[in-house]
Amino acid sequence: MQGILFPRGVVEEREGLQEYRARGGYTALEKALKGLAPETVIQEITESGLQGRGGAGFPAGKKWAFTRECAEQPHYVVLNGGEDEPGSKKDRLLMENLPHLVMEGVILASYAVGASTAYLYVNSQYNKAKDSMAQALAEAQEAGLVGKKILGSDFNLDILFVAAPPNYVAGEDSAALEVIEQKQPLPRQKPPFPATAGLFGKPTAVNNVETLANVPAIIASGAKWYRSFGTPESPGTMIFSLNDEVNRPGIYELPFGSTLRFLIEERGGGVKGGKSIKAIMPGGPSSAFLPPDKIDIPLDHNSVRAAGSSIGCGVVHIVTEGSCIVEEILRIADFFAAESCGQCPACRMETNTLAVMLKKVQQGQGGQPLLEQFSKVISFNKGKGFCNLINMPGPPIESALRLFRPDFEFHLANGRCPQS
């Protein structure tokens, strides 16, 4: 199956400027600078239906239009390479091995929104990705692709690096802006959204690495071509990550609408040891568990939502038969409690309380009435944080309680896992 980001399969080695150009790299930029108005670039991205790959699936064209249309100057672009989602390595791989593809996406985004400065916000633990992007930047500057009067046009662009602290919340877009402003990685209250009042208070388009990596192909080959991949509502492809639960862990680019079964069985080589599946989390630790009979759903935003979960940034986690769901969500609750930045009282209260409640369940304390309290704590705090983290523990916990009640009841009665 042909891909968009990886036309010949996932790239294992770094692609330099020569190789990238040899396969048509930077022709989209040339096309744009020589013949497309910024508004036309945005129009093409809007028509392509490109959705953000950083988790929320926000339409990229819409975000760019909001930014471009702001009268306030200057405008900025931020490449979000914070990537701290457990089990996600896709942005890292793109920056390490396809740095020019990502760079061309950043330059096109900057041209489209009218930015003359772009920031590459890269996870500080990703040394290889940072080095690879820095080398690509030097190569691009030398080739006249970044800097003054790019490719002979009137478009100027400076690109700067900022290290992203390696904690989860630092990847949130407004926290990223704070870090670029040399402050602590704490999310801002919204609105205003970064698109209208972002970096230094100016209009800023913050986009995920994978989102921007899709841009060159769309500009080069057109929205119509892009829409030949995926589904009408989720066009294009998405990178999915499979971890150690399958025989062939790794990242896989699939058109939206491919089934979960295809990803797990055909690409991932099936579950390790031939174990049967107890539950699937299709979109990272903040997505609801799906029961195994949902394995034939298509992976696109609408279908996964209709099945009761969300696609997030494509980290598919499989829980095998014999694992205890209480232990699974205790880990998740501890993760969110540890990662909550601590500035919003409700988020702190919620994440800490849920973690303590689950610990009680795990140890067999509290009884049935405790199980009834989870949804109350979750709904009481819903939406009461500056960022979306406060809403993240809800889906896994509530779906686990709904689907795997016996695991909870066994823990309450015996203070241990059914299997141990």
Strand ranges in 21-103 using DSSP code E only, listed in sequence order: 75-81
Residue 207 interacting with ligand FMN (CB under 6 A): yes
Residue 348 interacting with other proteins (CB under 8 A): yes
| 245 residue type, one letter | E
Which of 4, 17, 41, 80 is close enough to bind ligand FMN by CB under 6 A? 80
In three-state form (DSSP H/G/I as H, E/B as E, the rest C), the secondary structure along 270-310 is: CEHHHCCEEEEECCCCCCCCECHHHCCCECCHHHHHHCCCC
Q: How far is the CB of 97 from ligand FMN (least distance, A)?
A: 18
Site for ligand FMN in 369-388 (CB under 6 A): 387-388
Give the interface segment with ligand FMN, choosing from 143-151, 206-214, 262-270, 364-372 (CB under 6 A): 206-214
By rule CB under 6 A, what string of x and - marks binding of each residue 386-405 to ligand FMN?
A: -xxx----------------
Distance CA 333, CA 343 (A): 18
User: Which backbone phi and psi does 239 adopt, to 5 degrees?
Assistant: -90, 125
Q: How far is the CB of 305 from ligand FES (least distance, A)?
A: 23
What are 165's two structure tokens?
């602290």
Residue 286 interacting with ligand FES (CB under 6 A): no
3-class state of residue 97 by DSSP: helix
Residue 54: C-alpha distances to residues 184, 209, 312, 338, 420 (Å): 21, 8, 7, 21, 38
Residue 15 interacting with ligand FMN (CB under 6 A): no
Q: How far is the CB of 417 from ligand FES (least distance, A)?
A: 30
Residue 373 interacting with other proteins (CB under 8 A): yes
Number of residues that bind ligand FMN (CB under 6 A): 23
What are 97's two structure tokens?
């091995």
Give me the torsion for CA of 200, 206, 212, 216, rounded to 10°.
-50
Distance CA 378, CA 391 (A): 8
Residue 385 interacting with ligand FES (CB under 6 A): yes
Q: Indicate left, alpha or beta for 367 from its phi (over 0: left) and psi (-120 to 50: alpha).
A: left
Residue 346 interacting with other proteins (CB under 8 A): yes
Q: How far is the CB of 337 from other proteins (least distance, A)?
A: 9
Distance CA 233, CA 48 (A): 10
Residue 53 interacting with ligand FMN (CB under 6 A): yes
Give the interface segment with ligand FES, choosing from 89-97, 197-205, 264-272, 382-390 (CB under 6 A): 382-390
Which of 145, 260, 280, 341 is close enough to bind ligand FES by CB under 6 A? 341
Site for other proteins in 166-205 (CB under 8 A): none
Residue 54 interacting with ligand FMN (CB under 6 A): yes
Contact partner, 58, from other proteins, ligand FES, ligand FMN, none, Cβ < 5-8 Å per class: ligand FMN
3-class state of residue 15 by DSSP: coil
Residue 370 interacting with other proteins (CB under 8 A): yes
DSSP one-letter string for 113-155:
HTEEEEEEEEETT-HHHHHHHHHHHHHHHHTTSSBSSGGGSS-
Residue 398 interacting with other proteins (CB under 8 A): no
Cα-based angle 121, 123, 128 (whole degrees, multiple of 5) = 105
Residue 303 interacting with other proteins (CB under 8 A): no
Residue 58 interacting with ligand FMN (CB under 6 A): yes
Site for ligand FES in 136-195 (CB under 6 A): 169, 187
Q: How far is the CB of 168 from other proteins (least distance, A)?
A: 18
Distance CA 14, CA 378 (A): 44
Residue 75 interacting with ligand FMN (CB under 6 A): no
Indicate the burial class of 301 (C-beta count within 10 angstroms; 0-12, 13-18, 19 or more). middle
Query: Where do contacts with ligand FES occur on this chain (CB under 6 A)?
Result: 169, 187, 340-341, 343-344, 347, 385-387, 389
Query: Where do contacts with ligand FMN occur on this chain (CB under 6 A)?
Result: 52-56, 58, 80, 82-85, 168-169, 171-173, 206-208, 211, 387-389
